[in-house]
Protein backbone atom coordinates (compact mmCIF):
# COMPACT_ATOMS: atom_id res chain seq x y z
CA UNK A 1 0.00 0.00 0.00
CA UNK A 2 1.42 3.42 -0.91
CA UNK A 3 1.94 6.13 1.67
CA UNK A 4 -0.87 8.24 0.17
CA UNK A 5 -3.32 5.34 0.38
CA UNK A 6 -2.34 4.71 4.00
CA UNK A 7 -3.00 8.36 4.85
CA UNK A 8 -6.34 8.39 3.09
CA UNK A 9 -7.32 5.11 4.75
CA UNK A 10 -6.48 6.65 8.14
CA UNK A 11 -8.54 9.73 7.34
CA UNK A 12 -11.54 7.67 6.23
CA UNK A 13 -11.35 5.50 9.35
CA UNK A 14 -11.28 8.57 11.57
CA UNK A 15 -14.27 10.02 9.75
CA UNK A 16 -16.29 6.85 10.27
CA UNK A 17 -15.43 6.88 13.99
CA UNK A 18 -16.87 10.32 14.63
CA UNK A 19 -19.82 10.16 12.26
CA UNK A 20 -21.75 13.40 12.38
CA UNK A 21 -19.33 15.19 14.66
CA UNK A 22 -18.44 17.87 12.11
CA UNK A 23 -20.98 20.17 13.77
CA UNK A 24 -18.28 20.81 16.41
CA UNK A 25 -15.93 22.25 13.80
CA UNK A 26 -16.41 26.00 14.02
CA UNK A 27 -17.89 27.56 10.91
CA UNK A 28 -17.79 24.13 9.25
CA UNK A 29 -14.24 25.08 8.17
CA UNK A 30 -10.75 24.18 9.37
CA UNK A 31 -8.57 27.19 8.64
CA UNK A 32 -4.78 26.99 8.64
CA UNK A 33 -2.45 29.98 8.50
CA UNK A 34 1.03 29.36 7.12
CA UNK A 35 3.57 31.86 8.45
CA UNK A 36 7.22 31.78 7.34
CA UNK A 37 10.09 33.71 5.86
CA UNK A 38 9.06 33.75 2.20
CA UNK A 39 11.74 36.08 0.83
CA UNK A 40 14.71 36.42 3.19
CA UNK A 41 17.48 34.54 4.97
CA UNK A 42 15.38 31.46 5.79
CA UNK A 43 13.42 31.26 2.52
CA UNK A 44 14.99 28.07 1.19
CA UNK A 45 14.76 25.92 4.31
CA UNK A 46 11.00 26.55 4.71
CA UNK A 47 9.48 29.42 2.71
CA UNK A 48 7.22 28.81 -0.32
CA UNK A 49 8.15 25.12 -0.46
CA UNK A 50 6.93 24.71 3.11
CA UNK A 51 3.57 25.98 1.91
CA UNK A 52 3.76 23.43 -0.91
CA UNK A 53 4.34 20.67 1.67
CA UNK A 54 1.36 21.84 3.70
CA UNK A 55 -0.87 21.84 0.62
CA UNK A 56 0.39 18.36 -0.30
CA UNK A 57 -0.74 17.16 3.11
CA UNK A 58 -4.20 18.66 2.68
CA UNK A 59 -4.52 17.13 -0.78
CA UNK A 60 -3.38 13.71 0.45
CA UNK A 61 -5.85 13.95 3.32
CA UNK A 62 -8.67 14.46 0.88
CA UNK A 63 -9.29 18.21 1.10
CA UNK A 64 -11.94 18.04 3.81
CA UNK A 65 -12.24 16.91 7.45
CA UNK A 66 -15.47 15.10 8.32
CA UNK A 67 -17.17 17.06 5.55
CA UNK A 68 -15.77 20.41 6.69
CA UNK A 69 -13.64 22.24 4.14
CA UNK A 70 -9.98 23.08 4.75
CA UNK A 71 -8.79 26.60 3.92
CA UNK A 72 -5.26 27.98 3.91
CA UNK A 73 -3.99 31.54 4.25
CA UNK A 74 -0.31 32.49 4.19
CA UNK A 75 1.96 35.42 4.95
CA UNK A 76 5.61 36.43 4.87
CA UNK A 77 6.80 36.94 8.44
CA UNK A 78 9.80 39.02 7.24
CA UNK A 79 11.64 37.54 10.25
CA UNK A 80 9.95 40.24 12.33
CA UNK A 81 8.19 39.45 15.62
CA UNK A 82 6.15 42.66 15.29
CA UNK A 83 5.00 41.92 11.74
CA UNK A 84 4.22 38.32 12.65
CA UNK A 85 2.33 39.27 15.80
CA UNK A 86 0.05 41.69 13.94
CA UNK A 87 -0.56 39.11 11.20
CA UNK A 88 -1.47 36.32 13.60
CA UNK A 89 -3.62 38.59 15.76
CA UNK A 90 -5.62 39.51 12.65
CA UNK A 91 -5.86 35.86 11.64
CA UNK A 92 -7.25 34.63 14.96
CA UNK A 93 -9.42 37.63 15.82
CA UNK A 94 -10.88 38.40 12.39
CA UNK A 95 -10.31 35.40 10.11
CA UNK A 96 -11.04 32.52 12.52
CA UNK A 97 -7.73 30.74 11.84
CA UNK A 98 -7.57 27.51 13.88
CA UNK A 99 -3.92 26.54 13.36
CA UNK A 100 -0.79 28.58 12.65
CA UNK A 101 1.85 26.43 10.94
CA UNK A 102 5.38 26.94 9.65
CA UNK A 103 7.23 29.54 11.77
CA UNK A 104 11.00 29.73 11.42
CA UNK A 105 12.76 32.54 13.30
CA UNK A 106 12.63 31.67 17.00
CA UNK A 107 11.87 35.27 17.97
CA UNK A 108 8.82 35.10 15.70
CA UNK A 109 7.64 31.80 17.20
CA UNK A 110 8.00 33.03 20.78
CA UNK A 111 6.01 36.20 20.01
CA UNK A 112 3.31 34.35 18.08
CA UNK A 113 2.89 31.63 20.71
CA UNK A 114 1.89 34.28 23.26
CA UNK A 115 -0.92 35.48 20.98
CA UNK A 116 -2.07 31.92 20.39
CA UNK A 117 -2.24 31.33 24.14
CA UNK A 118 -4.21 34.55 24.67
CA UNK A 119 -6.75 33.49 22.03
CA UNK A 120 -6.68 29.73 22.70
CA UNK A 121 -5.64 28.76 19.18
CA UNK A 122 -3.04 26.17 18.21
CA UNK A 123 0.40 26.57 16.65
CA UNK A 124 2.75 23.92 15.26
CA UNK A 125 6.30 25.25 14.99
CA UNK A 126 8.37 23.39 12.40
CA UNK A 127 11.23 25.72 11.47
CA UNK A 128 12.41 27.34 14.71
CA UNK A 129 15.36 26.02 16.67
CA UNK A 130 15.47 27.60 20.15
CA UNK A 131 14.95 24.92 22.79
CA UNK A 132 13.44 27.62 25.03
CA UNK A 133 10.27 27.40 22.90
CA UNK A 134 9.21 24.35 24.92
CA UNK A 135 11.18 25.28 28.02
CA UNK A 136 10.76 28.72 29.61
CA UNK A 137 8.57 29.90 26.69
CA UNK A 138 6.24 26.89 26.61
CA UNK A 139 2.47 27.35 26.38
CA UNK A 140 -0.47 24.93 26.25
CA UNK A 141 -1.17 26.25 22.75
CA UNK A 142 1.84 25.26 20.69
CA UNK A 143 3.81 22.21 19.62
CA UNK A 144 7.49 22.28 18.59
CA UNK A 145 7.78 19.58 15.96
CA UNK A 146 11.00 19.08 13.97
CA UNK A 147 14.14 19.82 16.03
CA UNK A 148 15.66 22.28 18.49
CA UNK A 149 19.04 23.46 19.71
CA UNK A 150 19.34 20.81 22.43
CA UNK A 151 19.83 17.83 20.06
CA UNK A 152 21.88 19.97 17.67
CA UNK A 153 24.38 20.46 20.48
CA UNK A 154 24.12 16.86 21.70
CA UNK A 155 24.85 15.59 18.22
CA UNK A 156 27.35 17.83 16.46
CA UNK A 157 29.16 19.48 19.38
CA UNK A 158 29.56 16.21 21.27
CA UNK A 159 30.95 14.44 18.20
CA UNK A 160 33.45 17.22 17.43
CA UNK A 161 34.77 17.33 21.02
CA UNK A 162 35.17 13.54 20.99
CA UNK A 163 37.28 13.90 17.84
CA UNK A 164 39.67 16.28 19.64
CA UNK A 165 38.09 19.70 19.22
CA UNK A 166 38.54 20.83 22.83
CA UNK A 167 38.65 24.64 22.55
CA UNK A 168 35.78 26.47 20.83
CA UNK A 169 35.12 29.96 19.53
CA UNK A 170 31.44 30.70 18.87
CA UNK A 171 30.12 32.85 16.02
CA UNK A 172 26.51 33.48 17.04
CA UNK A 173 23.44 35.08 15.48
CA UNK A 174 22.41 37.82 17.92
CA UNK A 175 18.84 36.82 18.72
CA UNK A 176 16.91 34.14 20.61
CA UNK A 177 17.84 31.18 18.41
CA UNK A 178 21.57 31.98 18.32
CA UNK A 179 21.71 32.60 22.06
CA UNK A 180 19.91 29.30 22.77
CA UNK A 181 22.20 27.33 20.47
CA UNK A 182 25.31 28.95 21.93
CA UNK A 183 24.12 28.07 25.44
CA UNK A 184 23.33 24.46 24.57
CA UNK A 185 26.65 24.02 22.76
CA UNK A 186 28.56 25.51 25.71
CA UNK A 187 26.82 23.05 28.04
CA UNK A 188 27.77 20.06 25.88
CA UNK A 189 31.34 21.21 25.20
CA UNK A 190 32.07 21.77 28.89
CA UNK A 191 30.39 18.51 29.91
CA UNK A 192 32.58 16.72 27.36
CA UNK A 193 35.79 18.18 28.78
CA UNK A 194 36.23 21.12 26.39
CA UNK A 195 35.83 24.87 26.81
CA UNK A 196 34.43 27.86 24.93
CA UNK A 197 37.26 30.43 24.92
CA UNK A 198 35.40 33.22 23.14
CA UNK A 199 32.24 34.39 21.41
CA UNK A 200 31.34 37.03 18.86
CA UNK A 201 27.71 37.82 18.04
CA UNK A 202 26.71 39.07 14.62
CA UNK A 203 23.57 40.95 13.56
CA UNK A 204 20.74 38.95 12.02
CA UNK A 205 20.95 38.75 9.05
CA UNK A 206 24.55 39.52 8.01
CA UNK A 207 26.10 39.70 4.55
CA UNK A 208 29.77 40.36 5.36
CA UNK A 209 31.38 37.89 7.77
CA UNK A 210 34.98 38.98 7.15
CA UNK A 211 35.62 40.64 10.51
CA UNK A 212 33.92 37.83 12.43
CA UNK A 213 35.94 35.10 10.70
CA UNK A 214 39.17 37.04 11.31
CA UNK A 215 38.35 37.22 15.03
CA UNK A 216 37.67 33.50 15.06
CA UNK A 217 41.00 32.79 13.35
CA UNK A 218 42.87 35.04 15.76
CA UNK A 219 41.38 33.19 18.75
CA UNK A 220 43.46 30.10 17.99
CA UNK A 221 40.54 27.88 18.99
CA UNK A 222 40.46 24.30 17.74
CA UNK A 223 36.87 24.73 16.58
CA UNK A 224 34.85 27.64 15.22
CA UNK A 225 31.19 26.93 15.97
CA UNK A 226 28.54 28.57 13.80
CA UNK A 227 25.43 29.23 15.89
CA UNK A 228 23.41 30.61 13.00
CA UNK A 229 21.33 29.29 10.10
CA UNK A 230 20.24 29.73 6.51
CA UNK A 231 22.04 32.33 4.42
CA UNK A 232 24.01 33.44 7.49
CA UNK A 233 25.57 29.99 7.74
CA UNK A 234 26.35 29.65 4.05
CA UNK A 235 27.86 33.16 3.98
CA UNK A 236 30.01 32.34 7.01
CA UNK A 237 31.20 29.03 5.54
CA UNK A 238 32.01 30.66 2.20
CA UNK A 239 33.99 33.43 3.96
CA UNK A 240 35.82 30.91 6.12
CA UNK A 241 36.80 29.02 2.98
CA UNK A 242 38.04 32.21 1.31
CA UNK A 243 40.13 33.07 4.39
CA UNK A 244 41.60 29.57 4.62
CA UNK A 245 40.26 28.93 8.11
CA UNK A 246 40.26 25.14 7.88
CA UNK A 247 43.56 25.10 6.00
CA UNK A 248 45.14 26.79 9.03
CA UNK A 249 44.23 23.81 11.22
CA UNK A 250 40.91 24.96 12.71
CA UNK A 251 37.70 22.93 12.41
CA UNK A 252 34.46 24.55 11.28
CA UNK A 253 31.36 23.21 13.05
CA UNK A 254 28.08 24.19 11.38
CA UNK A 255 25.63 23.58 14.19
CA UNK A 256 22.49 24.07 12.11
CA UNK A 257 22.92 23.22 8.45
CA UNK A 258 20.06 22.37 6.10
CA UNK A 259 20.08 20.30 2.94
CA UNK A 260 19.39 23.41 0.88
CA UNK A 261 22.43 25.10 2.46
CA UNK A 262 24.70 22.19 1.54
CA UNK A 263 23.26 22.09 -1.97
CA UNK A 264 23.92 25.81 -2.38
CA UNK A 265 27.48 25.46 -1.10
CA UNK A 266 28.20 22.35 -3.16
CA UNK A 267 29.89 19.18 -1.98
CA UNK A 268 33.31 20.57 -2.95
CA UNK A 269 33.00 23.33 -0.32
CA UNK A 270 30.88 21.51 2.28
CA UNK A 271 32.47 18.05 2.17
CA UNK A 272 33.35 16.59 5.56
CA UNK A 273 31.17 18.94 7.59
CA UNK A 274 29.32 17.07 10.31
CA UNK A 275 25.79 18.14 11.22
CA UNK A 276 22.75 16.98 13.12
CA UNK A 277 19.44 16.59 11.32
CA UNK A 278 15.97 15.40 12.20
CA UNK A 279 15.35 13.74 8.83
CA UNK A 280 16.94 13.08 5.45
CA UNK A 281 15.16 12.57 2.15
CA UNK A 282 17.16 9.44 1.25
CA UNK A 283 17.12 7.72 4.64
CA UNK A 284 14.58 4.98 3.77
CA UNK A 285 12.05 3.92 1.13
CA UNK A 286 9.15 5.82 2.72
CA UNK A 287 11.13 9.06 2.87
CA UNK A 288 12.28 8.62 -0.73
CA UNK A 289 8.74 7.97 -1.98
CA UNK A 290 7.42 11.16 -0.39
CA UNK A 291 10.50 13.15 -1.44
CA UNK A 292 10.04 12.12 -5.06
CA UNK A 293 6.51 13.53 -4.97
CA UNK A 294 7.71 16.70 -3.28
CA UNK A 295 10.43 17.18 -5.89
CA UNK A 296 7.89 16.71 -8.66
CA UNK A 297 5.88 19.55 -7.09
CA UNK A 298 8.75 21.93 -6.29
CA UNK A 299 11.83 20.96 -8.32
CA UNK A 300 13.99 20.49 -5.20
CA UNK A 301 14.55 17.89 -2.52
CA UNK A 302 12.90 18.63 0.84
CA UNK A 303 14.60 19.79 4.02
CA UNK A 304 13.69 18.34 7.38
CA UNK A 305 11.44 21.39 7.88
CA UNK A 306 9.47 20.71 4.70
CA UNK A 307 9.00 17.09 5.77
CA UNK A 308 8.00 18.17 9.28
CA UNK A 309 5.40 20.61 7.97
CA UNK A 310 3.82 17.83 5.91
CA UNK A 311 3.89 15.33 8.79
CA UNK A 312 2.55 17.74 11.41
CA UNK A 313 -0.28 18.87 9.12
CA UNK A 314 -1.37 15.27 8.60
CA UNK A 315 -1.19 14.63 12.36
CA UNK A 316 -3.24 17.76 13.04
CA UNK A 317 -5.93 16.85 10.51
CA UNK A 318 -6.10 13.28 11.85
CA UNK A 319 -6.66 14.71 15.35
CA UNK A 320 -9.45 17.02 14.13
CA UNK A 321 -11.07 14.08 12.34
CA UNK A 322 -10.75 11.77 15.35
CA UNK A 323 -12.23 14.27 17.82
CA UNK A 324 -14.68 15.99 15.47
CA UNK A 325 -13.44 19.32 16.82
CA UNK A 326 -11.09 22.17 15.95
CA UNK A 327 -10.86 23.28 19.59
CA UNK A 328 -7.18 23.89 20.31
CA UNK A 329 -6.96 21.97 23.60
CA UNK A 330 -9.01 19.04 22.34
CA UNK A 331 -6.86 18.67 19.24
CA UNK A 332 -3.58 19.14 21.11
CA UNK A 333 -4.51 16.45 23.63
CA UNK A 334 -5.44 14.05 20.83
CA UNK A 335 -2.09 14.71 19.15
CA UNK A 336 -0.31 14.05 22.46
CA UNK A 337 -2.21 10.78 22.83
CA UNK A 338 -1.32 9.56 19.32
CA UNK A 339 2.13 8.12 18.47
CA UNK A 340 3.67 9.44 15.25
CA UNK A 341 4.64 6.81 12.70
CA UNK A 342 4.96 8.17 9.20
CA UNK A 343 7.49 9.22 6.56
CA UNK A 344 9.03 11.71 9.01
CA UNK A 345 9.30 9.85 12.31
CA UNK A 346 8.85 6.43 13.86
CA UNK A 347 7.55 6.18 17.43
CA UNK A 348 7.52 9.97 17.75
CA UNK A 349 5.48 11.46 20.56
CA UNK A 350 4.38 14.88 21.75
CA UNK A 351 5.13 15.58 25.41
CA UNK A 352 3.22 17.75 27.84
CA UNK A 353 5.67 20.62 27.24
CA UNK A 354 4.77 20.56 23.53
CA UNK A 355 8.07 19.04 22.39
CA UNK A 356 7.69 16.35 19.71
CA UNK A 357 10.50 13.92 20.49
CA UNK A 358 11.88 11.57 17.86
CA UNK A 359 15.20 10.14 16.78
CA UNK A 360 17.78 12.57 15.41
CA UNK A 361 20.75 11.78 13.17
CA UNK A 362 24.42 12.72 13.01
CA UNK A 363 25.39 13.11 9.35
CA UNK A 364 28.47 14.02 7.35
CA UNK A 365 28.52 15.78 3.99
CA UNK A 366 29.81 13.42 1.31
CA UNK A 367 32.77 14.13 -0.92
CA UNK A 368 31.99 15.03 -4.55
CA UNK A 369 33.33 11.61 -5.57
CA UNK A 370 30.93 9.80 -3.22
CA UNK A 371 27.85 11.77 -4.33
CA UNK A 372 25.83 10.04 -7.03
CA UNK A 373 23.81 13.15 -7.89
CA UNK A 374 23.44 16.78 -6.83
CA UNK A 375 21.14 15.92 -3.89
CA UNK A 376 23.04 12.83 -2.71
CA UNK A 377 24.80 14.81 -0.02
CA UNK A 378 24.62 13.09 3.40
CA UNK A 379 26.05 9.98 4.94
CA UNK A 380 24.20 9.14 8.16
CA UNK A 381 26.85 8.33 10.77
CA UNK A 382 24.63 7.39 13.69
CA UNK A 383 21.15 7.60 15.14
CA UNK A 384 20.66 9.68 18.29
CA UNK A 385 17.72 8.06 20.16
CA UNK A 386 14.86 10.40 21.04
CA UNK A 387 15.32 10.12 24.81
CA UNK A 388 19.02 10.93 24.44
CA UNK A 389 18.50 13.74 21.93
CA UNK A 390 16.06 16.04 23.73
CA UNK A 391 16.09 17.82 27.08
CA UNK A 392 14.58 15.50 29.71
CA UNK A 393 11.44 16.73 31.42
CA UNK A 394 13.26 16.43 34.73
CA UNK A 395 15.34 19.47 33.65
CA UNK A 396 12.41 21.42 32.24
CA UNK A 397 11.41 24.93 33.30
CA UNK A 398 8.09 24.64 31.42
CA UNK A 399 5.07 25.71 33.48
CA UNK A 400 3.15 22.67 32.19
CA UNK A 401 5.60 20.17 33.67
CA UNK A 402 5.31 18.91 37.25
CA UNK A 403 8.93 18.11 38.12
> Mean pLDDT of residues grouped by 10 in the chain (403 residues)?
45 42 78 97 96 98 97 97 98 97 97 98 97 97 97 91 94 94 96 96 95 97 94 94 88 93 93 92 98 98 98 98 98 98 98 98 93 96 93 97 81
Is residue 61 domain-resident?
Answer: yes
**Are 341 and 371 in the same domain?**
no
**Are 206 and 259 in the same domain?**
yes
Is residue 403 domain-resident?
Answer: no
**Are 138 and 209 in the same domain?**
no
**Are 289 and 371 in the same domain?**
no
Is residue 164 domain-resident?
Answer: yes
**Are 293 and 364 in the same domain?**
no
**Are 226 and 375 in the same domain?**
yes
Is residue 394 domain-resident?
Answer: no
**Are 240 and 340 in the same domain?**
no
Note the pLDDT of residue 402. Answer: 85
Is residue 391 domain-resident?
Answer: no
Give the burial string for 3-20 (b: 16+ CB within 10 Å, else e).
Answer: beeebeebbeebbeebee
- Name which of 8, 6, 1 is nearest 60 in CA terms: 8
Note the pLDDT of residue 5. Answer: 41
Q: 275 — alpha (psi -120 to 50), left (phi > 0) or beta?
A: beta
What residue numbers bound the domain in which 344 lies? 3-147+282-354
Is residue 392 domain-resident?
Answer: no
**Count of structural domains, the chain:** 2
**Are 46 and 103 in the same domain?**
yes
Q: Quick one: CA dihedral 356, 364, 199, 303, positive or negative?
A: negative
Is residue 63 domain-resident?
Answer: yes
**Are 194 and 302 in the same domain?**
no
SS3 string of the chain? CCHHHHHHHHHHHHHHHHCCHHHHCHHHEEEEEEEECCCCCCCCCCHHHHHHHHHHHHHHHCCEECCEEEEEEEEECCCCHHHHHHHHHHHHHHCCCCEEEECCCHHHHHHHHHHHHHHCCEEEECCCCCHHHHCCCCCCCEEECCCCHHHHHHHHHHHHHHCCCCEEEEEEECCHHHHHHHHHHHHHHHHCCCEEEEEEEECCCCCCCHHHHHHHHHHCCCEEEEECCCHHHHHHHHHHHHCCCHHHCCEEEECCCCHHHHHHHCHHHHCCCEEEECCCCCCCHHHHHHHHHHHHHHCCCCCHHHHHHHHHHHHHHHHHHHHCCCCHHHHHHHHHHCCECCCCCCCEEECCCCEEECCEEEEEECCCCCCCCCCCCEEEEEEECHHHHCCCHHHCCCCCCCC
**Are 110 and 38 in the same domain?**
yes
CATH code of 31's domain: 3.40.50.2300
Lay out the sheet containing 29-36: strands in order across: 64-65, 68-76, 29-36, 99-102, 122-125, 142-144
Is residue 402 domain-resident?
Answer: no
**Are 22 and 126 in the same domain?**
yes
**Are 173 and 271 in the same domain?**
yes
Amino acid sequence: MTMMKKLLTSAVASTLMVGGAQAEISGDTVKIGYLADMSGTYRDLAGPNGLAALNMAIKDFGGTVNGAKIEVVSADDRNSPDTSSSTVRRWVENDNVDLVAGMVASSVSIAVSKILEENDRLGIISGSAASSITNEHCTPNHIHYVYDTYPLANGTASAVVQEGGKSWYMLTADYAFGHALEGDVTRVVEASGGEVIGTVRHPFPTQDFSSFILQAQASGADVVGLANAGADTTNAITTASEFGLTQSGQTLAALLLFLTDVHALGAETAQGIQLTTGWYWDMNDEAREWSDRFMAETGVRPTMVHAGIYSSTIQYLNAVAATGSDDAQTVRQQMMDTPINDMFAKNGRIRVDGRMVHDMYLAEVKTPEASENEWDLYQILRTIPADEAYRPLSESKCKLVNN
